[in-house]
Structure formats: C-alpha cells, structure tokens
Amino acid sequence: MSLSAPYFEQLFSANPDPWAFRSRWYEKRKRALTLALLPRQRYGRIFEPACANGELSLGLAERGEHLLCMDLSPTAVALATERLAGYPTVQVVQGCLPEEWPEGLFDLIVLSELGYYLDSDDWRQVIDQARASLSPQGAILACHWLRPIADCPQTGAQVHGMLEAHLHLPRAVHHQEPDFILELWCRGPYRPDLEEQAL
C-alpha cells in the first residue's frame, strides 16, 4: 500500500523542511549533481511530482519554459508556492499519483525521492504514465535514497530496478553512491545543447 496524504501532511505541519533540503550539505550537493546531469540548458515543459517545499523546483524553474510542480501535502504546496513566487511560469498544484497524472507531453519529468513511497503497482503505473507523457526528445530523471526507510513499501534499489525494467528507454546516465542513485533516461540522444557548443 502506498503512503497516504496524512503521513506527508503531518511531516510538513511539524517542520517546513522535514528532510533539511535547505541546510544539509548532502542535499545541496545532490541537488547540484541532479541539475548538472541534465544535458540541455533549457526544457520546454517540466513536470516535478513530489516537489515538497520547492528546493529542487527552484533550480528546475531556471531551466524550463514552464514548470509544473505537484505534491500530495497541502502544506508542502503552500511552501513551494511561496518559494517559487518569483517565477510566473511555474505552477504548483496539489495532487496524488498515479491517479492525478497531468495531461500533455513533457520534455523533462523529474522523479526525485518519490518512488519508495508508492507500492509496486502504483509505481509501475507512474512509470507507464511518465513514458507515455514524454515528448519525442524528452528525458526522465530519477534520484532516490538507497538506505533503508522505515514504513516505505519499496527501497530505492527496487524503485530504480523497476524503472530500468519498464521504461523501455535508453539509459543515458547512471550515477551511484552509497547513499543515493541518480539516473537519466532519454528518448532522444544524450548530448549537450548544440547551440551552447557553437558559442
């Protein structure tokens, strides 16, 4: 069974930064690696479910023409909305995956610290939805903690194992450390922007 909305609402109601995204060097470094791994400087349409309080979203907002952020917790949505108030092309909504997957195609889908909160059936549906929503040159980025997490129905290793088995896309990047795994799958070729190379 996937973890429910009250679990996350309790976390954010007790602490606006329950995982210390803003203060821990581990989180800052991982966020920098995540953004540096993206081969394109700009993406047309980005989707980031489980945006939490919007720390990674802030970096993604600098890289996208339009960013759609989603979280299950109303408090997290309010925090992310406040954090991203200076970006008129960012939309933050409350929603539950896999039931409320947004319509349309995305050039980048970021599945960060999300999968192990879903059971295998729900996660498989998210994987299928992500692949179906990817634009012809789109990419799916996933990053997850690898240490045990109490009460979660899956581990980070299981989450990425399912991604590799069911995305049916070329994996462009695999970066793994003892604490986390960071991977990117691309429908198009993985290479830096040609415009950037020409400058």
39 lies in some domain: yes
Q: Measured between alpha carbons, how far apart are the two ends of the chain, in Å?
A: 51
193 lies in some domain: no
197 lies in some domain: no
72 lies in some domain: yes
Q: For residue 175, what pLDDT is reported?
A: 96
* Amino acid at residue number 153: P
Backbone φ and ψ for 39, nearest 5 degrees, come out as -75, -25
Reference 140, options 115, 99, 107; nearest CA is 107
Q: For residue 58, what pLDDT is reported?
A: 95
- Which domain CATH number covers 101? 3.40.50.150
Q: How many CA atoms lie within 13 A of 62 on its CB side?
A: 10
E strand residue ranges, the chain: 43-49, 64-71, 90-94, 106-112, 134-145, 171-176, 180-186
Domain carrying residue 147? 5-188
Q: For residue 22, what pLDDT is reported?
A: 78
- CB count, 10 Å around CB of 81? 18
Q: For residue 3, what pLDDT is reported?
A: 58
pLDDT in tens, 142-152: 999 999 888 88
151 lies in some domain: yes
Backbone φ and ψ for 188, nearest 5 degrees, come out as -100, -175
C-alpha 141: how far from chain center: 7
Q: For residue 197, what pLDDT is reported?
A: 44
32 lies in some domain: yes
- CB proximity list for 151: less than 8 A, separation 6 or greater: 3, 7
pTM, full prediction: 0.89
180 lies in some domain: yes
Count: domains in the chain:
1
Q: Which residues of the chain have pLDDT under 70?
A: 1-5, 7-8, 11-15, 18-20, 192-199
pLDDT in tens, 4-45: 667 667 766 666 776 667 778 888 999 999 999 999 999 999
Q: For residue 5, what pLDDT is reported?
A: 66
196 lies in some domain: no
